[in-house]
Chains A and B, each alone.
Chain A
Amino acid sequence: EVQLLESGGGLVQPGGSLRLSCAASGFTFSNYAMSWVRQAPGKGLEWVSGISGSGGDTYYADYVKGRFTISRDNSKNTLYLQMSSLRAEDTAIYYCAKTRNYFDSSGYHYFFDYWGQGNLVTVSS
């Protein structure tokens, strides 16, 4: 059974930093891309970042590029999101998602087949 368990969320002041973790089990972690998707309270879904199975390729939405860094440790079956220069608009539930990855001549394509329960990040003074 696929399990994804996020941790590391909480309250942080604007301009601060936080690192989210996602511990994965039930599948061969290194064989799959992974992603972070967030959901502001009462709002819709917003893709944040993705990473290939090897960790060699990373992708970011423009609204977090330069502030967030996605990484993974395949020896620990763990995905990370390092968040810095946090803003109030980054307040959201952050989900890690096992990613189905399809490659064609136009590039990589990600959709999300398993999601963690989510971790709330609140940016407020």
Chain B
Amino acid sequence: DIVMTQSPDSLAVSLGERATINCKSSQSVLYSSNNKNHLAWYQQKPGQPPKLLIYWASTRESGVPDRFSGSGSGTDFTLTISSLQAEDVAVYYCQQYYRTPYTFGQGTKLEIK
């Protein structure tokens, strides 16, 4: 199985500041034939189901604010929130969809400092 490891486990950032969450896969999730990274990011607020933010490592889902961006390739990926808003408090998960079983990172809890 592909193991997804996120860092840090928790993060406290001031309002308006940048938040950066990292995700590392145990093997590459880049498919060379189409040059696509099979990596998605989700946001889960307390008591709610997850919400898709980013797919193909850097494609923002429709309706997601542009302060959210994804980057990286191969085994190392980053989710960046450029200017933290109060409503961004949540747990964030990365997920690989390169091969089954589709696996998630352990989650990063983002709080306001």
Contact = CB atoms under 8 A, between A and B. Distances in A.
Given A111-B95, A113-B52, A59 B105 contact: no
Contacts of B68: none
Interface in A6-53: 37, 44-47, 50
Interface residues of A, number: 26
Contacts of B51: 115
Contacts of A117: 48-49
Contacts of B99: 106-107
Contact of A113 (B38, B61, B93): B61
A95 B31 contact: no
Interface of B: 31, 33-34, 38, 40, 42, 44, 48-52, 55, 61, 93, 95, 97-107
Which 5 A-B pairs have CB atoms at the shortest separation, nearest pair first? A115-B49, A47-B102, A61-B101, A45-B104, A111-B40
